Structures are given as structure tokens and as C-alpha cells.
Chains A and B, each alone.
Chain A
Amino acid sequence: MNLHEYQARALLKAAGIPMLDGDVASTPTEAESIARRIGSTVVIKAQVHAGGRGKAGGVKLARNPAEAADEAAQILGMTIKGLTVQKVLVVPAAEIATESYLGLIMDRESQRPVFMVSSAGGIDIEEVAARTPEKIVRLAVDPTYGLFPHQALTLAFVLYRDFTQVKAAARIMEQLYGAFVANGASLAEINPLVTTPDGRVLALDAKVVIDDNELFWRPDLGLLRDDSAEEPSEAAARRANLSFIKLDGNVGCVVNGAGLAMATMDLVKYYGGEPANFLDIGGSSSPEKVINALKIITADPSVKAILFNIFGGITRTDDVANGIVAATRQFRVSVPIVIRLTGTNEVEAIRILEGVGMTALSDMDQAVERVVQLARAGA
């Protein structure tokens, strides 16, 4: 789960990481009064889950409260990478002497939290990573022990020579690691970490991604989710416990298992079709899940045919069949449905479907070829 910058700032600030006081605004008037309270030049920053905000015009300077209102009015409501800006962060503009990058990720390969620091910080860190990866210093932390003081110092010495700044940065490393662990993050990033002309070390930006698996027992973090930042159909699917990604094609896909769902999309493409979505109904699929899946897919007007591809293991194919029958009773499905199911309780499933005049195929290739033809005919 991605957090907005203002939410990530709050988590890092709670851990003690030094940053400038700011606040979030939903209207130009709110932005104006925050700017007045700050009483100096401010930066207005669009709060959207997209990189490159500055280049898209979503970050602006304002020298006084009136300008803050004007800039906020420009930024609020603008679209950045398909996402509408609904909130802006208003923070004091900082005088910057140096900019560095500081990141902490959960790394698959080493299976540990890994720090990445670079004195070449700022907005072009991706470019630094691609062109001069040697400028980024990495350090894996053993989570059994946490970050040792000497490791924090080593990282800080990568960034600074001045020992006062080194000590300040080392403390920030420890605080960032603490916030990362305490909030079940998979990414925590400060870019840039700056020094000011008077020698202070400050975090000017914050980015945090929370591991979705933590949310089950961290409802407090779950409250930070911003549904409006998601595709509406994807938000609906998440609430129904379905893993769903909307795509641009016209073949709706309902599949059990992420790997099989991806392979199904690949096969739709192989036979000349375009998938309308990725949808994994998961392992233990109740009829209710199938109904929700069909609701979400049929709400997309570009869908011209729907494919069910179910390989029963934990998933009982008769549950899926019952769901399909119940759904078509609850609401009219106006596009053709092709059903492929095989595995656990398939005899019962086929009996249920035949009872209402539906049929099922047992071969995946056959079913995909058929649904692609139907979608083309309906387009």
C-alpha cells in the first residue's frame, strides 16, 4: 500500500526524523492559511501516487499566502499520470546546501532490509542508479540484530565529512530503520535528504510503502489508504478480496491463482485477443467471490465476452459453478460467458451448469480460442 507524502512524513516525523513543519490542504483557502502560519516562502506539492510530480507541474513555489492560494488552485484538480490531485502539502521552502538520497527497501535477494545511500541525491536518482550505480552505496541489515551504530555511521560517512552532520545523519538512519520495522514497510525513502547553509540535516521528502500483509493486524495503517487514488473498479475488487487489475482489452478474465491468471492473459493475446483485466479469485473461492468478480467485470462496457478459467485444487469448481448461476440470476449478463473448469468436484460443477443450460469446457486453449472469437464477434 502506497502512502501519500504527507502520511509518510507523519510516520517519519513520529520516529524523530527532522523535517520542516508543514500541513496538508484540500482547498486553496486551506493552503493560504497554512502559508500564512508558516510566514515565509512555501512549496506547494501535489499529493498523488506518482513519481515525477515536479516535472508534471505539481510542485510550485509561493512567496506569500495569496500566491499559495493561487498555486494550490492550479495544482488541486490537475491530473498527473492519470491521477487527480485532491490534496496538496504546504511546507516552508528550505535553503539547500547539499542533496542526498537515502532509501531502505526489503530486498528479495539478500532477504534483508537494505539501505541505499548516495550523495548524488535529488530528483534524478533513477538516472544515477541506471548510469552510475557505483555512486549508490548499499548495506544489508540483519533483522535479528537491527542496524548497528557502526553501520549507521558508515552510511552517514558516505554522505558527509563534517562530523556534526555525520552524527545527525547516522541518527536519521537509525530512526528510518526504526520506522521501517515499526510500520511493516517494504520501502521507506527520503529524497532528498538535505543540508542547509547553516549546517542542519533535514528530510525534505518522504515516501513509504507498507507491506499489504501487515494491514491485517495494523488497522491503524489501513486507515491511511486513499481509495480515490485507485482505479474505482480496483478499489471495489480489493474490498471484495479479489486481486484485480484493469486493462484495456475486451476479454474479461476470471481465474483462480495469479500464475494461471497471467498465463490466461498471455494465451488470450496468443490467440489474437486483448484481456480486459487480470483477476485472481484466490484459493478458497466462495460463490460470493464469483458474484463480485462478475459484477466488477460486467461493469466495464468494453468487455465483450467473459472467460472463466478455473483449475480446481483448493478451489472447488462446484462453488464457482454455483457462483456463476447465482450471479446470472441476480443480474443480467449481456455478454457471452465461456467456462473452462477442471479439477476438484468438476462432475458436480458441470451438473450444476447444465441444470441451467450452460456448458463447460475442460481445455484451456479451446476455451481461450472460443472467448477471443466471441469477443471479436461482439465488438
Chain B
Amino acid sequence: MNFNTLFSAVQLDTLEVLKILWITFPVIPLTALMTALAVKYLFKQDWAAGITRASHILQLLWALLITLAASSLEREYVFRLMDHEISIAFLFSREKLFFLWALMIPLFLSLFRLKTLKTFSMHMVFLFYLGGCSGLVTTGDVFNFFVFYELMIMGAYVLISIKDEYSASVKYMIFGAASSAMFLAGIAVLYASGAYFDFTYVENIQQLPQYTLTVALILFTAAFLIKGGFFPVSGWVAPCHSAANALVASFHASYTIFTGSLGLYYLVLLPADAMGAEQFFSLLRIISVLTLCASSVILFWEHSFIRSIAASTVFTMGMIGLLMSCRLYTEAGFYILLHAAYKSLLFYMYDEIEERGEEISLSIPHMVFLAVSILFAAGLFPSVTGALKEAVHAFAPLRYKLLLLITGMLVIGGFAKFRYRPAGFRGVSLSTLLSLGILTACSLLTLSQLNLQIPVAFDALTDLAAAVFVIAVSRKVFTRFKALHGIDRLTIYRNINQELLLAFSILMFSLLFILS
């Protein structure tokens, strides 16, 4: 369907419509909030749940309209707040649609679980959080990115503490504030180098002093590596995502942590490409490989199921980092979308199952869904993520293939080591159907949009054989090597001080690596 002809029939310009939709997208949750406050103060009624639902539906509608409008547009567009060169720019580009839909998937799912937000203030904080998330997708200005990011992350700090786990919230706050401070320092140095805050400063990057700009990019890299939970600073991800309830955890794992990669793409990799600085890509590749190795090992020795689910997000983040460092941006975008789908559904499923120590009882449909998600998480053959990873093999076939196979095996082992017990067939629930439906739709979309090479028979067989082997031996390996059981409480992670030391060491390491 050609949107242009539809609009020209009613004499509207597609670009004008897209501009209005794009700029008002983050304003929807904030207006809903305003309405709920008005109703509470003027009429003394609590309509927060209904208003939140209405705002979600409106945002989903907006996202559909934006995607339809974008189907006829090819390049990036910059919409300004005012008709002046120094006003705030909102950037539209097709890569941002991946993040838009990575936000819409948990939004759609949260329509069914809004009752978990019990008080009026919690609904308000949730709407602020959504306003921040929506703004991050639409913005095209560095300082505006910072401000929306702060709005989002402050909502996130409060939402994590809904289940009374204040230590996770405090840990997240300290890491978040440290990375925001580095981000602010990067903005300061960027401004000092003569660039204005638009993302489009990259076009004239050769006229700016390169050394100052490199320092700014290093600060941005360090900030986004901490925000995205890459290797040495991934210790906050598992406690924080497992401490939140399903609704909040689905948003955090699908969207909030990937804003780190959004920032890396627009603020580090694109300028580094324009400057010709290859070291940023190598740094990201090294750190992603370390993240993949470390997170899969830590996942294998996790004791609790919910923490395993949360820790597999770090594994995916390493994968995204690897894809982005090889300049495979579209593949990374689809990976993020698929991850949003299966991870949100995993968190919702966790609410419906019973867990007693290392024994988990779930019904057969849940088992099917869990098996499918684990294959997606590990990126092995029948899942579409396995095909997405094939693109990386073009760079260094044997090395990456071996690395991805072994880490995928560790991830499968990390989930297979629990004892699963069937809990009686209670009929196929709506949520399981919905889950498999969403996952299938996302996979089909990915397959249709990319020319993916389906792995040749040898690769597919290797993947399947590895999966079977690991499922058979994982329990034995887990119980045998008792000494490694405390691996998630390693010396370097024993308390938050040591983790912060690592956070600032990342900054030093990247400084030394890039400036040498």
C-alpha cells in the first residue's frame, strides 16, 4: 500500500505527517500523565490504570503509523523543534525503527499485566519512564539524548524497587550515575571541540580538532559500555533485572539496556567511521568477545533460574557489540528485535511457573516455549538468531565459529542444568499461544527482510550435536566442579567498590588503547 497516494488523496504531505507523529511520540505518555494528575486532583478519582492503557494503545497506533509512513521513505530526515539552526533536532532514520519496535513489544505485553503496578505513584513513574524511552528513540540531539536518558533511568531506578529489593536499586543507581557523569564529560569535551549537539555534526567532522574529538568519543564509549553492561561492568545486570517484577524486567531487558548500543551507534561508531578511527571498532570487538566468554561462563554456574534469564541478556549484548563492531548494523537491529520478543516473554513466563531451588515445574506448553527461547538465546541452529550470527563468520570463519559455538553451548548448559518437571497439562494457555505467535512473526519478518544464508548442513548438524551433547552433560559438569560455584561472586565482584574500580579502569584502558 502506497502511503503517498493515500495522503495525496487527502492532500497531506507524508513528511509533514511523519514530522508531527515523530515529534509527538514522546509527548503521549507525558500528556497521559498530566490527564491522570488532573483527574486525581480535580475530581479525586484514580483512573491511572485506564489512562495508562489508553496511552499504550495510542503509542502502538502511532508506532504503526510511523512504520507505514517510513515504508515509503528511504533516507534520514531531521525535524527541528523550531525553524532555526541551533534548535533541537529530532532525527528519523530507518535504523531507529528497530529500537521503536523493541520498545513496542514489551509495551504491548504490559497491557495484560498493568495490575502489578499497585499504587497511583507507581503508574505515574511508569509513564515517566515510558516518556523517557520514547524520547530516546526520536531524538537527534546529544544533550537531548542525555536528558531523556536521565528521565528514563530515574524511572527505572524507582521501578526496580517495586518488589522491595532496594540493594539492587542502589547498585543500579551508582553505576548509572557514574556512567552519566562520564557521558556529561563527553558532551563537554564534544562541545569544546567545536561541534554543536546535533547528531549531524558528523558531516563536517574533518574540520574539527581530531584529538579533542577522540577524547570525547572515548568518554562516550566508556559511558555506553557501562550502560550496556559489557564485560567488566556487567555485574549489575543480573541482580537488577532479576529483582524487578515481570513488567519492569521486560522493559529493562528489551529496551533500556540496548539504549547503550543505540548510543554507541550514533555517538561513537558513526563519528569514528567518519574520522577513520578504526581503533574504536577494534576496542568494541575485543570487549564484546570478552563479554561473550565471561557471561556464558557466569551463566553456566548461576544458581537461580531468574538470574540465568537476566544474565543471558549480557550474552546478547556481547553478540550485539560483536555485530556492530563488524559494521553489521541491520543484523544487529533484527537481533535486538528478536531478543525483545523472546526475553520479555521469558520474564512473563517466569511469573507463571513454580521454582523450588534448582527444580522447576512447568507445564508442557511452557516447556516448548522455554526450549525455543533457549535456542534463540544461545543462537544455535534452528533459531533465526543462529542465522543472524552467520554474518559474523565472514570475518574470521574458524575463530568466530568456534567461539560462538562454545559460548552457545555454555548458555544452553546454563539453562539445561536445572531439573525440570512437568506440572500437569492445564490446556494451552493464551499467553503461550501469544508468545509463540509473536516469536514466529518476528522470525518471519527477519527472514523476509534480510538475505540470510541458512547455515549449510555441516554447520546445522554441528549446532544440533553440540546442543544435544551439552544438555546431556551439563548437570554432571555443574555438580562436579564445585569450586567454580562461586564464580558470580569472584574476588573482583565481591562488592560494589571493586566493580566501580573496574568501571573506571575501562575508561583508562580505552584511553590507553586508543591514544597509543
Please say whether chains A and B are actual partners in one complex.
Answer: no
Which A residues form the contact surface with B (CB < 8 A)? Answer: none
Interface residues of B, Cβ cutoff 8 Å to A: none
